[in-house]
Structure 1
Amino acid sequence: MTTEETTEVKLVEHTVQTTLGTIAVSEAGEGPVLVMLHGGGPGAGAVANYHQNLAALTPHFRVVLPDQPGFGGSYRPTEADLDARSITEITVDALVQTLDALGIERCHLLGNSLGGAAAIALALEVPQRVEKLVLMAPGGGWLPFGPTPTEGQKAMFRYYNGEGPTLKKMRDFIGVMTAEPKRWADTAQARYEASLDESHIAFYHAYNAAFAKRHGMDPLWQRVHEIKAPTLLLWGRDDRTITLDGAQLMLKQIRDVQLHVFGGCGHWVQLERQAEFERLVTDFLKEH
C-alpha cells in the first residue's frame, strides 16, 4: 500500500488480488462509499479521469477509484478472455471481488462511458449492493438513433491503428471527446504518455477486435427497466461519442430517474463542467 498526493488529496493505493488478476485501487476520504468507474479511452485510468474532482468529493464520501481490467495498474485481459466474455462481464466479476476484498457491502456507484456500462451491469447483477447510481453517457444502456459507430468511437479505433499513438492523434481524440479541446492541452500530454504502455496497447488491439466481433457494447438497454437504484443521468449536449438522443430510452425505462444536460459540453462531463458535476453528484447522493 502506498500514498500519493493528487490535487491536494492524499490517495491510499491498494492492489487487490482477484481470481482474474490484480486490480489497482486508489481511495481517499471518509463517509458513505462512492465507487467511481472511468471511461475506456486510450490512456484512461481511475485517477487520471477523476483526480480533479477529489478535493470536492472526499469531504463527503470515501471515494474508491478502481482501474478497470485493461487500464491503469490493473491486469490486462487476453484475447481469449475477451472472446469468452465481454469486457463488461469481465469488469463486473473483477469489481464484485474487489468490493468483497475491501469489505464494501453497499455503495454509491458512478460510471462514465465504458465505466457506465459496468455500473449498469453491476446494478443489475447485485442490486442489493448499489445505493444510488450516477451514469454519465453510459455505454450499453444507450440505444443510438443515429449512425454507428459514432464519431467518438471511430476516434478510439483510429488511435492505435496506422502509425500508432502520437500526441497529435491524442489531441484529435480529445477534440472529439470535448466541446472546447483547447482547454485541455495538459490533459492531452498526460493521456498520450499513459497510452504508450506496451501492455495497454496490446490489450487495446484485442479489445477493439472483440468490440467489433460483438458489434459493440453489451445491449444493457434491454434491461435498464430492472434498475432499482435511484439514478442520476448526466450528459453533455454536444457528446459525439454516446449521443444525447440515447438518453430518451433510459428516461422512459428507469423508474426512479432524473437527467441533467450540460450545454457546451462533450463526453467528459466531470472535466468539462467540473464544479456543476461535483455539486450535482454531491447533492444527489446526500439527498435522503
Structure 2
Amino acid sequence: MQWHELELTRRSVETDNGPIAVAEIGTGPTLVMLHGGGPGASGVSNYHQNLPALAQRFRVILPDQPGFGGSYRPTEADLDARSITEITVDALFQTLDALDVDRFHLLGNSLGGAAAIGMAQTRPARVSGLVLMAPGGGWLSFGPTPTEGQKEMFRYYNGGGPTEKKMANFIRTMVFDHEQFGAEVVRARYEASLDESHIAFYHRYNAAFGKRHGMDPLWRELHKITAPTLLLWGRDDRTITLDGAQIMLRNIRDVQMHIFGNCGHWVQLERAREFERLVTDFLGELS
C-alpha cells in the first residue's frame, strides 16, 4: 500500500499560544514523530513514506511543530521570550494532553530531535522509548559550525528568496545520493516552502538562532533522559555531523546506536526500510 492510499485523521488542537495541526494513523502503542526544521517541512511531508509500515504497529501521531505546516507561527516576542525548542516542548505536551495521551514513544529528527530531547528531559516518565535521528541540541560538533547543511538552510529564504534551484541545493546537502530525488521531489518541497506566513516565521526563527548563538545546549542535561534510546545517524550527514554523537553515547543512560553508511541527514528517506525495521524492533520490545 502507498502512503497516499492511507486514511489519515487530521485535526487542529488549541494550545495557549495557538493551534497545532496533527495527523494521526494506525493503532497500537502511541508513537509521536517530530519532523525537522527545513523550509517547507511538516509532520506528514517528512514521514509519509514510512507510514504504511509504522501504522501497522503503532498509533502514529504527526504534529506540525510551531512555525511549520498547519500550526501557528511564533511571533518575534515569543522567540525573544523562549527558544523554539522551549516553545515546541510546551505546545506538544499541551497537544498530547488534549489527545489524552499520557505515555508514548517519541521519535525526532534534527530540529524535531531537539524537541524530543527537551520533552524526554522535561517529563521523562512520560516517554517510554526514544528514537533520535541526528538531533539538534544534544549534539556537540568537533568541526566548524555552522555546518554545510545549516548554511544551506539559512540561505534558502535569503538572497532573493526561495527558488527551485535553491531547494535542489538544499536537498543535495541533506542526502548522500541526491540523484534518487528527482525534479518532482524538489518541486513539491519548493511549493510547500512558499507559504508567506512560514517565510516570515523562518526569518524570525533564523534571527532568534543568531541572538541565542544557536540551539539550546541540551547536551548539558542528557543525563536526565531515562527512556531507552536509539540513535540513528547517517555517516555522511553534513548538517548534524556524526562526530557530535559521542557526547550522547557517553551521557544517555540506556543508549544504543546504528550508523548508516552512504547516508546523509534524512535517514527515514534514504534508508526507509531499514529505518522502519529498526524503529519497529526497538520500540516493539518496549511496548
**Structure 1 stretches lacking a partner, 5+ long:** none
Q: 2:233 aligns with which of 223, 232, 235?
A: 235
| Letter paired with 1:200 | H
8 Å contact 1:235–1:260 — kept in the other structure? yes
Alignment match, 1:225: 223
Distance in 1 between the 2:78 and 2:232 partners? 31
Secondary structure of the corresponding residue to residue 138 of structure 2: coil
Equivalent residues, number: 284
Deviations 1:228-253 (A, max 9, x none): 00000000000000000011110011
Any residues of structure 2 matched to 1:94-243 within 5 Å, and which? 94-185=91-182, 186-243=184-241
Deviation at 1:49, TM superposition (A): 0.1
Identical columns (%): 74
Deviations 1:71-93 (A, max 9, x none): 00000001111011000000001
TM-score (norm 2): 0.98
Deviation at 1:194, TM superposition (A): 0.6
Distance in 2 between the 1:270 and 1:112 partners? 9
Distance in 1 between the 2:167 and 2:285 partners? 38
Q: Which runs of at least 4 in structure 1 moved beyond 4 Å after TM superposition?
A: none
Alignment match, 1:78: 75
| Letter paired with 2:154 | F
| Letter paired with 1:78 | T
Deviation at 1:184, TM superposition (A): 1.2
Distance in 2 between the 1:272 and 1:72 partners? 22
Secondary structure of the corresponding residue to residue 233 of structure 1: strand
| Letter paired with 2:105 | H
Distance in 1 between the 2:29 and 2:49 partners? 20
Deviations 1:248-273 (A, max 9, x none): 11001111000000000000000000
RMSD (Å) for aligned C-alpha atoms: 0.8
Distance in 1 between the 2:40 and 2:178 partners? 17
Deviation at 1:7, TM superposition (A): 3.0
| Letter paired with 1:265 | C
Distance in 2 between the 1:126 and 1:249 partners? 21
Secondary structure of the corresponding residue to residue 123 of structure 1: helix
Distance in 2 between the 1:194 and 1:33 partners? 27
Deviation at 1:6, TM superposition (A): 3.9
8 Å contact 2:174–2:264 — kept in the other structure? yes
Alignment match, 1:266: 264
Distance in 2 between the 1:181 and 1:8 partners? 26
Deviation at 1:56, TM superposition (A): 0.3
Establish whether residue 17 from structure 1 lines up as the match of residue 11 from structure 2: no
8 Å contact 2:131–2:229 — kept in the other structure? yes
8 Å contact 1:134–1:234 — kept in the other structure? yes
Distance in 2 between the 1:209 and 1:73 partners? 22
Secondary structure of the corresponding residue to residue 7 of structure 1: helix
Deviation at 1:191, TM superposition (A): 0.8
